[in-house]
């Protein structure tokens, strides 16, 4: 299980099972936040705790951040899908480096094509150092 928290520790997340990669998105929001996302569903593979403030983008996605230290902790769909589950992703940059450093990076073109791009061999550690 992976764990992460904002800088002040007020907002926390856990993620299980082991992700197969972290996504770097270039959409108008993600490129500004610099988040690296691992995905699952609320209260299934992802559990979050602590108070957050949210920024709602359009009609579909809310970005949650700590109201004290301002770290972006996660995003989630505003509404559950047809199956009743709510998709979300946590910011793997809030995890401990040794726990997440080797996760491969997936690229998503959220700006133009809205398509997955091929892996290029980089991992989370390559984005930090």
Contacts of 76 (CB under 8 A, 6+ apart): 42, 61, 62, 64, 86, 87, 88, 89
pLDDT digits (tens, 9 = 90+) for 70-126: 999 999 999 999 999 999 999 999 999 999 999 999 999 999 999 999 999 999 999
pLDDT digits (tens, 9 = 90+) for 49-78: 999 999 998 889 999 999 999 999 999 999
Whole-angstrom distance, CA of residue 64 vs CA of residue 44: 18
pLDDT class of 129 with cuts at 50, 70, 90: low
Model pTM score: 0.94
Tell me if 2 sits within 8 A of 92, measured CB to CB. Answer: yes
pLDDT for res 70: 97
List the domains of the chain with CATH numbers. Answer: 2-128 (2.170.150.70)
Whole-angstrom distance, CA of residue 96 vs CA of residue 87: 23
């Amino acid at each position: 299980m992976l764990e992460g928290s904002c800088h002040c520790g007020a907002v926390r997340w856990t993620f299980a099972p082991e992700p197969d990669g972290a996504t770097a998105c270039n959409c108008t929001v993600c490129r500004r936040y610099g988040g690296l996302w691992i995905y699952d569903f609320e209260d299934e593979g992802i559990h979050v705790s602590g108070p957050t403030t949210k920024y709602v983008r359009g009609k579909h996605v809310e970005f949650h951040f700590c109201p004290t230290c301002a770290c972006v902790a996660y995003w989630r769909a505003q509404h559950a899908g047809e199956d009743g589950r709510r998709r979300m992703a946590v910011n793997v940059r809030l995890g401990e480096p040794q726990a997440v450093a080797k996760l491969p990076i997936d690229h998503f073109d959220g700006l133009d094509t809205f398509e997955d791009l091929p892996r290029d061999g980089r991992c989370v550690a390559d984005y930090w150092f």
